[in-house]
């Protein structure tokens, strides 16, 4: 994927994400979902954690970072859920923007993001 395509995708996805979240009130943010005990707020925390891990991977081309990557998906998800379950949705929503901006800035500054994305696809 080329850098311009990735930046466009990140921007469009963020706009859609924010539009979706704007439709959900505070009570709905904390209500467990139909298919899981996770609420919308918990999903936001999960996505934000993943985004926070993405920028260093793009910068270094190394799938490393948190020690949580050494755990199974279920274990990692449970730990991130437990770490964030007490956060209020408003506070969590405001913390997602800096994470998103760091990821976007990393992509924008990287001269080699296209090569790194291709390399990462091979690793996964």
Ranges of each domain in the chain: 3-123
pLDDT for residue 23 is more than 60: yes
Q: For 43-59, what is each residue's pLDDT tens digit?
A: 888 888 888 887 777 77
Q: What share of the chain is helix, strand, coil (3-state, %, to 5)?
A: 75, 0, 25
3-state DSSP assignment of residue 32: strand
CA 102-106-111 angle, 5° bins: 170
Unique residue bearing structure tokens 């298919």: 35
- Distance, in Å, from the CA atom of 61 to the CA atom of 119, rounded to the nearest integer, reads 8
Q: For 66-111, what is each residue's pLDDT tens digit?
A: 888 889 989 988 998 888 877 766 566 666 777 788 888 887 777 5
Whether the CB-CB separation of 89 and 29 falls below 8 Å is answered with: yes
> Where is average pLDDT lowest: 1-5, 52-56, 61-65, 69-73?
61-65
pLDDT at residue 67 in the model: 86
């Amino acid at each position: 994927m080329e850098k311009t395509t990735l930046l466009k995708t990140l921007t469009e996805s963020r706009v859609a994400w924010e539009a979706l979240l704007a439709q959900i009130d505070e009570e709905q943010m904390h209500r467990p979902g139909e298919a899981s005990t996770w609420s919308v707020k918990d999903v936001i925390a999960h996505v934000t954690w993943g985004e926070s891990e993405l920028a260093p991977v793009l910068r270094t081309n190394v799938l490393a970072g948190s020690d949580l990557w050494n755990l199974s998906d279920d274990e990692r998800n449970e730990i991130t859920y437990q770490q964030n379950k007490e956060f209020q949705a408003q506070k969590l929503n405001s913390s997602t923007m800096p994470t998103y901006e760091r990821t976007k800035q990393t992509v924008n500054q990287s001269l080699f993001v296209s090569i790194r994305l291709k390399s990462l696809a091979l690793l996964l």
